[in-house]
Amino acid sequence: MSQSDNELSLDDIEALVSNKVPHTVSKQGWIVDPLELGRACKAYKLEHPVRVRFTSGRRTWGTHRTKHDSNSPTGYTHWITLSQVWTREKANHTLWHEFFHCMQAEDFARKEGRRPTAFYHEAYSQTGYAYVDNPYEIACEKFAERQAPKWSLLS
C-alpha cells in the first residue's frame, strides 16, 4: 500500500473505482489484484480503464480489445480476457502481455490521432492478421518476459 499497510491512497481508490477485475478466485486459486493493476495503469500512464474477465478454456490465450464505452469517463475501455485455468505464473505473464496491447493501442491513438479502437485492425491488417512473427506480438512477449518475474498483478 502507498501510505501504510492499512491505508489506501487516492490513487489506490481511483484504481479500484475505474478498473474492473473478476470478484472470484480463479480455478487455480489466484485473483487479479485490483490495486496492482491500478498501479500498473498509473506507472505506464494508461488513459483508459482496464477491465479483466475470466474465461475457462474457450480461448486458450489471452485477448485484448479496446472498445467504445459510454460508461467510461474517457469514452473507451480496454477489455482483457484471461484464462482462469492457468498457473499463477502463466496467468501473470499473459496479463502483462495483454496489458502491453493496451499501451500499444493508446500509443497508436496518440501518434496517429485516431481512436484506440482502430489499433487492432490498422496494425494487424499489415501482417495479414498473423500472430506468429508479428512485431506487435513479439514486443508484447518481450515486455511480459521483463515484467512478469518482477511484478505480479495477481494475488
**AA letter at 67:** K
Does residue 131 surpass a pLDDT of 50? yes
Instruction: Enter the C-alpha cell of residue 25.
Output: 478466485
How would residue 3 be classed by pLDDT, with cut points 50, 70 and 90?
very low
pLDDT of the residue at 86: 93
Q: In what order do the strands lie in the sheet with 76-83?
A: 50-55, 76-83, 63-68
Q: Running DSSP on this structure, what letter comes out for residue 9?
A: -
Domain residue ranges in the chain:
10-147
pLDDT of the residue at 152: 98
Does residue 39 surpass a pLDDT of 80? yes
Its sign, for the CA torsion 86, 81, 71, 115, is positive
Claim: this prediction has a pTM higher than 0.85: yes
